[in-house]
A and B are shown apart, each in its own frame.
Chain A
Amino acid sequence: MCAQPVRPAFSRRSERGPPRAIGAKRLEGGQTGMFLRDSEPWVDDETLGQHLEENGVSRRSFLEFCTEMAVVLGLGSAAAPSVAKALEAQKRPTVIWLEMQECTGCVESVIRTEAPTIGDLVLDVISLDYSDTLMAAAGFAAEKAKAESMAKNKGSYLLVVTGSVPTKEDGIYCMLAGKTIRAHLEEAAEGAAAIIALGACAHWGSVQAAAPNPTGAVGVRDIIKNKPIVNIAGCPPIGDVVTATVVHFLTFGRLPSTDREGRPLFAYGNRIHDQCSRRAHFDAGQYVENFDDENARRGWCLYQMGCKGPATYSPCPIVQWNNRTSWPIGAGHPCIGCTEPFFWDTMTPFYRRLPDVGGFGVERRIDTIGASLAVGAAAGVLAHAGMTVLHQIRRRKSTRQLPEHGAPTEDSTNG
């Protein structure tokens, strides 16, 4: 885990949510509840050591985990003890994970997290009471476990949702245990404290919602209106962002501040373009002009290869993928914009900067249309100018043949 703290993106955006005291005081020691001023009551006289001992936790490993979490959350490692404290304060909170119309890539992504690892998360941090992909029970036993947990933790559990909801044909395009997935979602959302819509499908529908959206797939926000929802955008999102959001919720007792798309600011607060390691090449005018050309082998900017970084808000350049091994642009491929809604339609073709527009028989590039219209206009102007001049000459000739008309009119000049 990189020791460098992620920039506390949400501390400086006062117009979106009330200001938090995170940025201001984060260099202080971790003993007081410095960043919990407006969330959880905190005991100032209890030391961390006592607290951890009381809870019988291996202090070292738990602190390591908390440091990692704090860094991902953008709090700086100094905040780790407070995170530890908040997490240890209660029994493991219940998480229900509902999988809908999806490819399970989001689950795989969460399994790849570094901090906390999925093992730590499931055994130490949360109580994952229902997860299609991971749970031991199946069928009736699984549904029973879910129902019991939902009843017992009504109003307090966190609902994680991956996948979209098909709305056509009364939702029969995705069924679970004999019921539509929509019914499952509505039932699970009912008693949830908050919902994490994980991945592009749960966010807005993703690939199955790409035109022509055969099954009428929509995201969670289109179905559930009365619960706080945070969208972890991406196809799939980075697993560490998911666990960071879960821990944020558990630590601060609320979902993180979000942007207009409902995405956490700590991850989606800036564009890829503005955080890209290849940005210097963009500004310098140094571009890859074809894959594996000389410029690609220098690691120049992928702007001309259709990179959607300038239109995409994502933590990829900063958090990076799979224990900060790399990220798409880092591995030489342009960004496809997968954290933005409707990217399958707005960001395609992926290898061109702009989409094609229809309506001209065949779809064409915008610039081709624009340039041909401009050339057409210029040609029209030239033709019209030529005809006007001809017309004038002819007219002048005809007026000259009528000397009785008197003096030439104003038309006779300049020819």
Chain B
Amino acid sequence: MTTDQVKPLARLPWFQVRLPRARGDFTWIYLWGAPLRVSHWVAALSLVALFGTGIFISQPLWVTSGEASSHFLMGRFRFAHFLAGTFLVMAGIIRVYWLFAGNEFERWPALWPFTRRNIRAMFLMLKSYATIDPKIQPHFVGHNPLAQVAYSSIYVGTTIMICTGFAMYGQSNPGGFFYTAFAWVPAILGGLQNVRVVHHLFSWLYPIFFSIHIYLVIRSDYLERGGVVSSMFTGGTYVSSHDEFEDCDLGDHPSVPWHTGEHPTWVKPQ
């Protein structure tokens, strides 16, 4: 890549200094299919809504006054909670479908990266986070195994939240669909109150996960320049063809200049 290919804005001195120098070829790799991206953002938004409304439902922060009939505050919060819940389930359905229809980075076997090599990579990731040293970090095109385990755990946690949530939702109509379909939940947990406890307990996964997740993807962008954040919008990421990756052999990929916009569709490596 040469300097004359840089767009006019970037020719300004301030930008110029900071732009990356040409360093070999880049490959744009298409990682995340549209269904996955859509489900990611739908889930993210609905989870934020679910957590916020859930907090209010568990601990109403203010009370209304006057006639009960002229207010529906808790009712609205609960409605918003249930609505967000249905969006989350829709996102979940798409994600489940995509576990079977997606590419190698999205399919269900990717959810449990527990090969010997991956476990070693996990330790390296942990070590790298602990020592704040990006150099020892193993390189992955897709999610690194540690991140993947975190995401898989969130899938499990969310499944628990959905099941306990619907189990409680169904109680207002005993004998109805949700009551019957999720009758096994209180049975397993030993009563409705325990269902509530579990729902409450697991809800705290999300603020914890959100802060770590958002931090780490931004950090990754900052350190690796891979464009992880944008990959969840565009679907792909640029990688240097000269780098080696644990989960992908770039040898088979044609190098594409990053600015041409000719995004190749994903070609299965090897």
Contact = CB atoms under 8 A, between A and B. Distances in A.
Interface stretch (A56-64, A65-73, A169-177, A280-288): A280-288
Contacts of B175: 12-13, 15-16, 269
Contact of B207 (A15, A303, A311, A377): A377
A285 B71 contact: yes
B197 A357 contact: yes
Given A284-B74, A295-B63, A385-B215, A367 B58 contact: yes
Interface residues of B, number: 54
A344 to B, nearest CB: 11
A347 interface: yes
A304 B207 CA distance: 24
A63 B246 CA distance: 84
A274 B172 contact: yes
B73 A370 contact: no
B112 to A, nearest CB: 24
Interface in A374-398: 374, 377-378, 380-381, 384-385, 387-388, 391-392
B212 A381 contact: yes
A355 interface: yes
B5 interface: no
A213 interface: no
A404 interface: no
A221 to B, nearest CB: 14
Contacts of A312: 192
A271 B75 CA distance: 17
Contacts of A273: 171-172
B21 to A, nearest CB: 5
A44 interface: no
A248 interface: no
Interface centre among B172, B195, B196 (most CB of A within 10 A): B196
B225 A355 contact: no
Interface string B91-118: 0000000000000000000000000000
B132 A260 contact: no
A237 interface: no
A51 interface: no
A63 B31 CA distance: 77
Interface in A331-354: 337, 340-343, 346-347, 353-354
B261 interface: no
Contacts, number: 158
B9 interface: no
Given A341-B191, A354-B200, A286 B19 contact: no
Interface string A260-292: 100000000111011000001111111101000
Interface centre among B70, B78, B129, B211 (most CB of A within 10 A): B211
Given A274-B172, A284-B68, A370-B204, A342 B129 contact: no
B207 A367 contact: no
A287 B187 CA distance: 30
Contacts of A328: none
B187 A374 contact: no
Contacts of A367: 58-59, 200, 204
B144 interface: no
A100 B77 CA distance: 47
Interface stretch (A26-34, A76-84, A108-116, A406-414): A406-414
B61 to A, nearest CB: 10
A284 B174 contact: no
B225 to A, nearest CB: 5
A366 interface: yes
Contact of A271 (B23, B172, B180, B211): B172
A357 B68 contact: no
B201 interface: yes
Interface string B193-220: 1111100110110011001100100010
B145 to A, nearest CB: 19
Nearest to A285: B73
A134 B18 CA distance: 94
Given A271-B172, A357-B201, A367-B200, A285 B64 contact: yes
A371 interface: yes
B203 to A, nearest CB: 7
Given A13-B174, A311-B191, A284 B215 contact: no
A284 B72 contact: yes
Nearest to A346: B193
Contact of B63 (A289, A370, A408): A289
A203 interface: no
Contact of B197 (A286, A289, A355): A355
Contacts of B187: 260
Contact of B60 (A271, A304, A366, A371): A304
A131 to B, nearest CB: 32
A122 interface: no
B215 A354 contact: no
A135 interface: no
A308 interface: yes
Nearest to B61: A285
Interface of B: 18-21, 23, 58-60, 62-65, 68-75, 77-78, 129, 132-133, 168, 171-172, 174-175, 180, 183, 187, 190-197, 200-201, 203-204, 207-208, 211-212, 215, 219, 222-223, 225
10 contacts: A282-B74, A283-B73, A284-B70, A284-B73, A285-B60, A285-B71, A287-B63, A310-B196, A341-B191, A367-B58
Given A269-B174, A367-B58, A381-B211, 20 more contacts: A15-B175, A15-B180, A260-B187, A270-B174, A285-B60, A310-B168, A310-B171, A311-B193, A340-B192, A343-B191, A366-B197, A366-B200, A370-B204, A374-B207, A384-B132, A384-B219, A392-B222, A409-B23, A410-B20, A414-B18
